[in-house]
A = this chain, B = another copy of it.
Amino acid sequence: MKLFNYFRSSASFRVRIALALKGLTYEYVPVHLVRAEHRDPAYAGRVGDTLVPSLETDEGHLLVQSMAIIEYLDETHRQPPLLPADALGRAHVRALAQMIACEISPLTNLRVLKHLRNDLMVDESGKDAWYRHWTRNGLTALERQLALLARERAAAGQTASRYCWGDTPTLADCCLVPLIFNAQRFHVDLDGLNLTLAAFKNCMELPAFQNAQPSACPDAEA
């Protein structure tokens, strides 16, 4: 498999975590977003959304969108599973992942920040305020949802979650960790997000999360 990705892209980071958790080897192909390499015809001609990450399978199929790629990896390489065995658990995990990937990340990615700066003439501090507003907003919602799910687990006699949901990392954790990395980089207020940060801390104790982080990538920059 080939993973086309950028060390600092949080969507790329999600897939690197999933690949590491599954213990899968792959060719790392850097696509430098700031240098606009994702718009090179050789890449853009094969990848409809012209975004990273994309995954080329051993059969030559090009897959896009990080959550879809992770579900594909989970279906084609079953161990360890990145989704719970029951439909309710899967719904909760997918919802947590989507609260990050559909409600927070899309508002704070590079192309949106560029558009604010270049088309809406928002200055640097306004851009940072935008970043922090949506990230803090989304993380507060995530913390509320984790608290609701903790109550649901307790009521059902289930153990407290060590990760976002349950005792093993899931798709939700693949999305959470890159989000917290970015939040720290942009000095987002993380006060009071106890359940969220506990899950993050427990993830970071695992080699898979450590080895997938931006600073460990071949294309990492200082």
- Residues on A facing B (Cβ under 8 Å): 46-51, 57, 61-65, 67-69, 71-72, 75-76, 87-88, 90-92, 94-95, 97-99, 101-103, 105-107, 112, 115, 119-120, 122, 126, 130, 133, 141-142, 144-149, 152
Give the top 7 A-B pairs by smallest Cβ distance, nearest first.
A48-B145, A68-B94, A106-B106, A65-B95, A72-B91, A68-B95, A48-B144
A11's nearest neighbour on chain B, judged by CB, is B102
Contact residues in B for A87 (Cβ distance below 8 Å): 72, 75-76
B61 contacts A99, CB within 8 Å? Answer: no
If A72-B87, A90-B72, A126-B120 touch, whether A99 touches B65 (CB-CB below 8 Å) is yes
CA distance A95 to B72 in the complex (A): 10
If A76-B87, A91-B71, A144-B48 touch, whether A115 touches B133 (CB-CB below 8 Å) is yes
A129's nearest neighbour on chain B, judged by CB, is B119
B65 contacts A98, CB within 8 Å? Answer: yes
Q: How far is the CB of A51 from chain B (nearest CB, A)?
A: 8
